[in-house]
Amino acid sequence: MMPAAILFAFGAMGCYVVLGLLHKAADKANCRPAQINIFLFGWSALFALFAMIAAGHYPAPPAAVWRIAIPSGACGATAIFLFQTGVRRGKIATSWLIINLSAAIPVFISIFFYGEHVSPGKLGALAAMLVSLILLWVEKRTRETAL
C-alpha cells in the first residue's frame, strides 16, 4: 500500500500541472498578470476557508501564524506575478524549471542548518534539475545564434 505522504505529493504535483497549464492558457488569452494574481489568491483563500470550516477549524490563528503567513503570502503573490509576467517573455518550461530549481535552496538550508540527511536520490534529483536548466540555456543560446 502506498504511504499517504506519496499520495499527497502526487496530488500536489497534479495540481501544479493544472496550474501551469492554466497559466499558459491565461497568457494565450492575453490576461494581465496582476488580474490573474488577485483572482488566483482570492479563490485560493476562499477555498482554504471553506476547507477549514468543513474540517471544524476556524480562522483564529495565533500570532506565530500571522508572522509566518503574511510574509509567505507576500512572497507567494510576488512569485506568481513574476512567473506570469515571465511566461509572456519566455518559455514556460524554463520558468517552471527555475521554480523547481529554487527548491534546492531550502534543501541546502535544511542540510546545513538542520542536519537533514541527503539521500542519493535527492542528490540525483537536484543534479538532474541543474543539468536540465543548463541544457535549456544551451538550447536557447544555440537558437539565438542561428537567427
- Residue 146 is predicted with a pLDDT of 76
Q: What does the alpha-carbon distance between residue 33 and residue 39 come to, in Å, rounded to a whole number?
A: 10
pLDDT, tens only, 19-59: 878 888 888 888 888 888 888 889 998 998 899 889 988 77
- Residue 92 is predicted with a pLDDT of 67
Assigned C-alpha cell, 12: 500536489
Nearest to 110 by CA among 100, 121, 118, 102: 118
Q: What is the mean pLDDT of residues 79-83?
A: 82
Whole-number average pLDDT of the chain:
82
Q: What is the mean pLDDT of residues 106-122?
A: 82
- Residue 21 is predicted with a pLDDT of 84
pLDDT band at 93 (very low <50, low <70, confident <90, very high): low
pLDDT for residue 101 is more than 80: no
Global model pTM greater than 0.75: no
Query: How many CA atoms does the CB half-sphere of 117 hold within 13 Å?
Result: 3
- Residue 71 is predicted with a pLDDT of 92
Nearest to 133 by CA among 101, 106, 103: 101
Residues in the chain, total = 147
Contacts of 81 (CB under 8 A, 6+ apart): 33, 34, 37
- Residue 1 is predicted with a pLDDT of 62
Nearest to 87 by CA among 19, 145, 39: 19
Q: What is the mean pLDDT of residues 73-88?
A: 83
